[in-house]
Chains A and B, each alone.
Chain A
């Protein structure tokens, strides 16, 4: 995913060549994911504001890894994240909830046999 896909939202005045020249700016929001150790999953840590991917990486490092909390960082434009809606939680995840046969305890094994 290219950072240019994110919504660059500047509240300042924009000159003819598209550069922000004055005024207040609100850098775009990036979501930060940290991996605590090799082999561990990346987990959401929080967010930062930054102008581009490189800047987001540096800000994420300074804000979320001051004490060796991560061996790897992901930054993702917040606008690129699609999330399920809480109201859908029931019906949306339903297909996974009523299939007991997907779990090992659904199956009977002869008594006294160690299966695992």
Chain B
């Protein structure tokens, strides 16, 4: 096909046309013209999201060998495998913006890339597996359900696929919590301890408050984001509090109160110092997570090389299957 020649227009006309498409609710596809800044923001957001899925396998993988029953073990293995798949869906979406997955993976193992702060907290007990599914995947669903309507087509489609699968993750987690909540005093105590440790980090998953979120305005304008961090956080709290009440678990926030007028569960002040510390690499497990990821990557090198060598040999001898 003949390459179309775009008449020399100034950038602002292209931006105006692009923003008009966004305003009309059109989705932007890989080969469409887009402002460099839109591309950059998406690469940043999508690669951080993909990295989070990949690093997210580590705290849970930690418990596969110690799952208390075969049923729980099967679910946990399937969930961890899903997270790998989710990482791949989003890396694949990011590649449509002209970056290599290889490059992104190097940024992750080199410690140059960011990922969700929640995965830098340790998983100390079996109850953590329940609480991660319930709260962490629950928060991810709230975030991703909205991202499924993001303006960039490949990202939106990856989110639709992911949302379908995350529901299983949340339900299996909540089932573990509900079971422990009906269990022995020791089991209840283990669950309460896990909730106490994960509640605040789960709220931090939505990112800094709107008043302190440098990227939000631009992302909202281009409909990469459709709701603000604080709106999503509130939605998550409203959904989760009744679930905590239903299983008789206390959320560790003395300020948590229902506001009849707004219909919102109002919550206390988030410790943003902790958030920025963890994001900045000073969380309890940042080094451990990256070391584990790097080790897995390095130990898999021979497999990647062997597969490539095999393919090259097949190709050379002309026995490649059609």
Contact = CB atoms under 8 A, between A and B. Distances in A.
Interface of B, helix, strand, loop or mixed by DSSP: helix
B158 interface: yes
B32 A52 contact: no
Interface string B1-21: 111101000000000000000
B315 A55 contact: no
A10 B92 contact: no
A86 interface: yes
Interface string B305-322: 101111111111000111
Interface residues of A, number: 42
Contacts, number: 99
A65 to B, nearest CB: 10
Nearest to B320: A4
Nearest to A1: B322
Contacts of A52: 310-311, 314-315, 320-321
A82 interface: yes
Contact of A12 (B6, B157, B305): B305
A72 interface: no
B193 interface: no
B267 interface: no
A18 B315 CA distance: 10
Contact of A46 (B89, B102, B313): B89
B81 interface: yes
A20 interface: yes
B31 A8 contact: no
B28 to A, nearest CB: 10
B321 A54 contact: yes
A23 B82 CA distance: 29
Contacts of B88: 46, 48, 63
B102 A8 contact: no
A97 B141 CA distance: 41
A25 B4 CA distance: 35
Q: How large is the interface on B (under 10, 10 to 19, 20 to 34, 35 or more residues)?
A: 35 or more
Contacts of B315: 4, 8, 52
B91 to A, nearest CB: 9
B312 to A, nearest CB: 5
A55 B3 CA distance: 34
Interface string A71-107: 0000000000011111110011000000000000000
Contact of A3 (B313, B316, B320): B320
Contacts of B44: none
Nearest to B90: A46
A90 to B, nearest CB: 9
A92 B157 CA distance: 26
Nearest to A83: B31
Interface in A18-51: 18-27, 29, 46-49, 51
B198 to A, nearest CB: 27
Interface in B31-63: 31-33
A84 B312 contact: no
A26 B309 contact: no
B307 A26 contact: no
B305 A21 contact: yes
B322 A2 contact: yes
Given A46-B92, A51-B308, A86 B33 contact: yes
Given A63-B88, A86-B29, 20 more contacts: A3-B320, A3-B322, A18-B316, A24-B102, A25-B305, A26-B102, A27-B308, A46-B88, A46-B93, A47-B92, A52-B311, A54-B321, A66-B81, A66-B165, A67-B165, A86-B32, A86-B33, A87-B4, A88-B2, A92-B1
Query: Which 6 A-B residue pairs are closest in the complex by CB-CB distance?
Result: A51-B311, A87-B4, A52-B311, A26-B102, A20-B308, A25-B308
